[in-house]
Chain A
Amino acid sequence: MEAVLFFLAAIGALGGAIGVVALRNPFFSVLALIAHLFSLAVLFLLLTSAFVAAAQVVVYAGAVMVLYVFVVAYVGGGGESAWEPIPGQRFLAPLLGVAIFVELSIAVLGSALSALDTHGSEVPTGFGDPAAIGRLLLEKFLLPFEASSILLLLAAVGAIVLAARRREGEGEGSSEHSAKRSEDPTPSPTPGVTA
């Protein structure tokens, strides 16, 4: 039963990953990534890590992917040019991918980790449930927890600064634009003044 579930989830995860890479339309790529994330959540459950699986579904497949869908809908799926800056890139890249897969497999399977061939060590019930992870996060890993919260805040502020629509002639807009405006002998009043 466990093996069947593992192979189903593995096929889902791999198919989702290949879909992300191969599909032309970015919107379908995002949908493939959502399927991939759900399959990974099943794999996490098989590895008895309930909290990570739940976070994967709620945070990743829920929130982050919604952000992607919005941006894809805003930007639109433009077709990619078939032009290759490096000749033969489309043939070399899969070769490099296979090379890195073989390399990683050799590195992991050739290591002296004897427990790799087992089902993992015996774990108590409640291994990886929210209580255990929460206790670890707030006791042993308090500093990384706080650092990651500051990082999230910084990322939110950075995204607003990057993506916010700059108001005309206010603050430091895009350099060309503000330079053109300052050279203008009769600056048009800002909308805020007339209104």
Chain B
Amino acid sequence: MNIEWYIVLSSLLFATGVVGILIRRSPMVILLCLELMLNAGNLALVAFSRMVGNAQGQVFAVIVMVIAACEVVVGLGLIVAIFRRRLPLNVDDLRELRG
């Protein structure tokens, strides 16, 4: 398959993640949609790495995985903390930090 197929698929997955973040209210599903976007970026990185024939792009993809794992850990910690305080798990109700 040509590389452009992978790139178009990656942008399609990224757009799906964007739509998910825009329409969902639960913080957990929003985290999942962030994962979708990060993985779309990973796919583009690996595809470009294959296009150039240089494995350095794959190292970038591995680092992105590390970042995603950190983001998941902190995000889920926040969700558990919100749940413990009996606050609603809904991003529209959690608006105290809004300016």
Given A36-B36, A152-B69, A162-B74, residue A13 in contact with residue B9 (CB < 8 A)? yes
Q: Is B94 an interface residue (CB 8 A)?
A: no
Chain A interface: which size bin?
A: 35 or more
Partner of B28, one of A17, A26, A51, A83: A26
Measured in the bound complex, the distance between the Cα atoms of B96 and A122 in whole Å is 55
Check A162–B78 contact: CB distance below 8 A: yes
A122 to chain B, nearest CB (A): 7
Given A13-B13, A14-B9, A104-B11, residue A116 in contact with residue B51 (CB < 8 A)? yes
Could you mark each residue 97-129 of chain A with 1 if its beta carbon is under 8 Å from any beta carbon of chain B, else 0? Answer: 110110011001100010111111111000110
Which residues A44-76 have CB closer than 8 A to chain B?
Answer: 44, 46-49, 51-52, 55-56, 59-60, 63-64, 67-68, 71-72, 74-75
B63 to chain A, nearest CB (A): 6
Given A26-B28, A136-B55, A162-B80, residue A21 in contact with residue B39 (CB < 8 A)? no
Check B46–A44 contact: CB distance below 8 A: yes
Q: Which chain B residue lies CB-closest to A104?
A: B11
A159 to chain B, nearest CB (A): 4
A-B CB contact pairs (8 Å), 15 listed: A13-B9, A17-B17, A21-B29, A51-B62, A68-B31, A68-B76, A80-B24, A93-B23, A116-B4, A117-B4, A119-B1, A158-B77, A160-B77, A162-B74, A162-B77
Which residues A136-155 have CB closer than 8 A to chain B?
Answer: 136-137, 140-141, 144, 148, 151-152, 154-155
Check B46–A97 contact: CB distance below 8 A: no
Check B19–A43 contact: CB distance below 8 A: no
Partner of B15, one of A101, A122, A133: A101
Measured in the bound complex, the distance between the Cα atoms of B62 and A126 in whole Å is 17
Measured in the bound complex, the distance between the Cα atoms of B92 and A119 in whole Å is 46
Q: Which chain A residue lies CB-closest to B40?
A: A17
Measured in the bound complex, the distance between the Cα atoms of B78 and A14 in whole Å is 29
Partner of A47, one of B6, B16, B77, B89: B6
A92 to chain B, nearest CB (A): 8
What chain B residues lie within 8 Å of A17 (beta carbons)? Answer: 13, 16-17, 20, 36
